[in-house]
Amino acid sequence: MLTQQIVNGLMLSAIYMLVAVAFTLAIGVLNFLNFSIPGLFMIGGMVAFGGLRLGLPWPLAFGGALGAAALIALAVERFAYRPMQGSDPETPLVSSLGFLVLLENLMLVRFGSDQQSFPALLADMNLRFGGLVIGIAQLISMALSVLLVVWLSWFLSRTNTGRQIRTVAESRETALLMGVNMGTLVPRLFVGSALLASSAGLLFAVNYQQVSPFMGEGVGFKGVAAMIVGGMGSIWGAVLGGLLIGLVEVLTISTVGANFVNISAYGLLLLILILRPQGLIGQPPSREKL
């Protein structure tokens, strides 16, 4: 049923959307492709899983996962980004990739390489509209994802900190002349990206009820693809890209099979790069403003 597949695709899109927005905050403001984000996505699911296995109530387990992701993001900023400013752009990218490998191997040592079954936290209740079935967990996750992005968009456009972030995205030199404190703003940006990515990992774990040390890799690549498809540096471009990638994946599975998922997703990315290199709602002359 096409409508059912679209609903399933929207759930997957919500995950990609948050990861794409996390990447967008880093590259749109700091011009830094932060490859630790897939690891932070994984931390969201794996740390919550570990907390639940220890018997913690789910609010504490989830809070611990988000807190762990925030602390790791501060470490990435301190040791992978800050010392590398002024060097080649590839240097902090490679050092952030080192954090991804480190995080994956730490979880591998702790939990093993097999996929772990994440406990069901919500009752198995579904809303039925004729033949259409919408899970309560799906509905809550999609609503949370949309609310997070809407709040972030409001924050960037309506608050003083948001205006500072947009000033840095426009011109770092101008921001410094205007007195923007980069020493506090940049770590906050890293933490914001980490919370978005780890929240996506939590939603993934709750909905698909499985976690593993390598769960972030595929999602991370799809998040980057979504960011590029929508338009690099644009929050709503990341949302649009995540929506398209998720729907394309699910519709591909339902029509031609799972073996063609990556072909269709990255084929869409290649098509957009050929026809509109700046992305669907990006601006050609420079990075799209947040």
Q: What is the pLDDT of residues 166-206, one digit of tens each?
A: 898 888 888 888 888 988 999 999 999 999 999 999 999 99
Question: What mean pLDDT is reported for the chain?
Answer: 89
Domain ranges of the chain: 2-115+135-275
Query: 134 or 166, which is more confident?
Result: 166
pTM of this prediction? 0.92
- DSSP output for the chain: -HHHHHHHHHHHHHHHHHHHHHHHHHHHHH----TTHHHHHHHHHHHHHHHHHTT--HHHHHHHHHHHHHHHHHHHIIIIIGGGTTS-THHHHHHHHHHHHHHHHHHHHHH-SS-EEPPP-S---EEEETTEEEEHHHHHHHHHHHHHHHHHHHHHHHSHHHHHHHHHHH-HHHHHHTT--HHHHHHHHHHHHHHHHHHHHHHHHHHH-EE-TTHHHHHHHHHHHHHHHH-TT-HHHHHHHHHHHHHHHHHHHHHT-GGGHHHHHHHHHHHHHHH-TT-TT--SSSPPP-
CATH of domain 2-115+135-275: 1.10.3470
pLDDT digits (tens, 9 = 90+) for 46-101: 999 999 999 999 999 999 999 999 999 999 999 988 887 766 767 788 889 999 99
Kindly indicate the confidence band of residue 107, based on its pLDDT and cuts at 50, 70 and 90: very high
